[in-house]
A and B are shown apart, each in its own frame.
Chain A
C-alpha cells in the first residue's frame, strides 16, 4: 500500500539539461509535499516543499509542480549539475502534523 510512489528508480541526464523527477500519491488527505536529496552515507536533506494550496514553488534551479487532480508532483532541476547526482525522495504529509510518508527514491546521475 505505497501511498507515495516514485516509479523511476533511476534517471541519467547530461550536465546543463533539465532533470525531471516524478512522484505520484494515492492519499487525497495529503496536503504538504517535500523533496529530499540524499548523498551516499549521509541522511536525507530537505530540498524544497509545496503546500496543496499552490501548484508551483521555485527555489533557484529547483521547481516543484503539483497537480492535485492527478495526484502527481514533479521536481525540475535546471540546469542540472554533476553535484546534483544523488537519490531524491518525495515525501508527503496530511494536515501538517502526521509523519512524513516517503517514496522509494529516484537516483539521479548528472553526466558531465
Chain B
C-alpha cells in the first residue's frame, strides 16, 4: 500500500543507452513531479504534471521526456544517457488546494551511468 512507488529502485547502465523510470501514486493526487538529487545533494525540480498536463519544465535537456498516461502515473524516459545523468531521481505527488506544497515522495531511483 505504498503511496508513491517508483521502479526500478536501482539502475546501472552504459552511456548512450535509453532507460525509463516509472512512478505511480495511489493517493488520488492530481499533481506529480520528478525531482533530481545530484552528487551535490540538491533536490531540484525537473517536471511537474497536473491532471496529465505538463505545467513545469525546468531547464532539463530534451533527452529527458516525461509521460503521464493518467494522473496516477508519471514516467520518465531518458535517451542517450550521459555520465552527468547519474543521480537519484525522486517522484512526488501533491493535491491542488490547501496543502498543495506538501509533497509525498517516492523512495527514489538511483541511476548510475558508466
Which residues does chain B contribute within 8 Å of A89, judged by CB atoms? Answer: 43
- Tell which of A2, A34, A36, A44 has the most Cβ of chain B within 10 Å: A44
5 extra interchain contacts, Cβ-Cβ under 8 A, other than A43-B107, A44-B43? Answer: A2-B42, A99-B45, A99-B48, A100-B101, A101-B45
Size range of the chain B interface in the assembly: 20 to 34
Instruction: Given A42-B107, A43-B90, answer yes or no on A49-B102 (Cβ-Cβ < 8 Å).
Output: yes
Contact with B along A84-112 (1 / 0, CB 8 A): 00000100010011011110110000000
CB distance from B54 to the nearest CB of A (A): 13
Q: List 9 A-B contacts (CB under 8 A).
A: A41-B107, A43-B105, A43-B108, A44-B105, A49-B101, A99-B33, A100-B101, A102-B42, A104-B42
> A-B contact count, CB below 8 Å?
49
Which residues does chain B contribute within 8 Å of A34, judged by CB atoms? Answer: 101-102
Of all chain A residues, which has the CB nearest B104?
A: A46
A99 adjacent to B104 (CB under 8 Å): no
Of all chain B residues, which has the CB nearest A6?
A: B41
Which residues does chain A contribute within 8 Å of B90, judged by CB atoms? Answer: 43-44
Query: Which chain B residues have a beta carbon within 8 Å of chain A's beta carbons?
Result: 4, 33, 35, 40-45, 48, 56, 58, 90, 92, 100-108
Query: Which chain A residues have a beta carbon within 8 Å of chain B's beta carbons?
Result: 2, 32, 34, 36, 41-46, 49, 89, 93, 96-97, 99-102, 104-105
Of all chain B residues, which has the CB nearest A9?
A: B41
